Structure 1
Amino acid sequence: MKIDIGISDNDRKAIAEGLSAVLADTFALYIKTHGFHWNVTGPMFNTLHTMFMQQYTELWTALDEIAERIRALGYPAPASFTQFAKLTSVTEETAVPQANDMIRQLVAGHETVARTARGIFPLAEEANDQPTADLLTQRLQIHEKTAWMLRSLLE
């Protein structure tokens, strides 16, 4: 059935593609955060283990919200490691870094997702797509606050 929500097909496609990159970045950051939760060691173990769990839980919830917005726009959400790897800007970590390096990488990851999300705003605003703009605003608030909190641990 044709979608007629007041956003052109071209705009819906462009926004869905942008949101797919946000979804991929979020998934990559989720994996990294969860892995760091499992593997963190050192004097800040308990604090970081708990903090990382809160962060990966929030990211997990966000994945569904982002994917559902892509679907509401009429496009399939990427849902494979291969698709995510092609779309993400978040760097993968295959080793187990020290705790402070984990924190630095997560700051960089949250800032990456924020940049990706911010890049979609012009599309959403031009298309008068308030639900996507609202979703992006919420995601930006969370990623910027999380980056700040993590960055504060390094000072």
Structure 2
Amino acid sequence: MDRDRALREVEQAGQELSAAAVMFHTAVGERLGIGPSDWKMMDLLERHGPCTAGELVRHSGLAPASVTGVLDRLQRRGLITRGRDDEDRRRVVVTLTGVPADRAAEVFGPLLRELGEVHAGYDADQLALITGYLRRAAAAQTRATAEITAAAEPGAGASGR
């Protein structure tokens, strides 16, 4: 297979994975009674630990107002808390109070089982290559999200829209 065809196939597979991920996280959000962006913000907090809103903006690529809206919804549902940083009282830190473990296992069990079967077909070196690609692709998508978000902000001008 030539490189151009291989790139087209990678792009198509990426689109398929993206669509499947959006649909999965929409279903998870519906099961838990929250929206997909709310669910993914909780995921960021789980992976990165307590963060400021600004750190969540950087991790997600979303606009500050969007992150604030998500955090407001999560706080109303009792899924996060906001509190002053012990080291720097000017900073507000967001902490995940979480989804109960039994609920997380309920919604992720089928996916983890399926992925376990997929992963069984790869050796450690292949998994390391896949991991590197996925991390680089995720970082690229976060940067693209931030670019789109910045272009949509008020004052970006007609050229930014």
Q: Which has the larger radius of gyration?
A: 2
TM-score, normalized by the shorter chain, greater than 0.5: no
TM-score, normalised relative to structure 1: 0.32
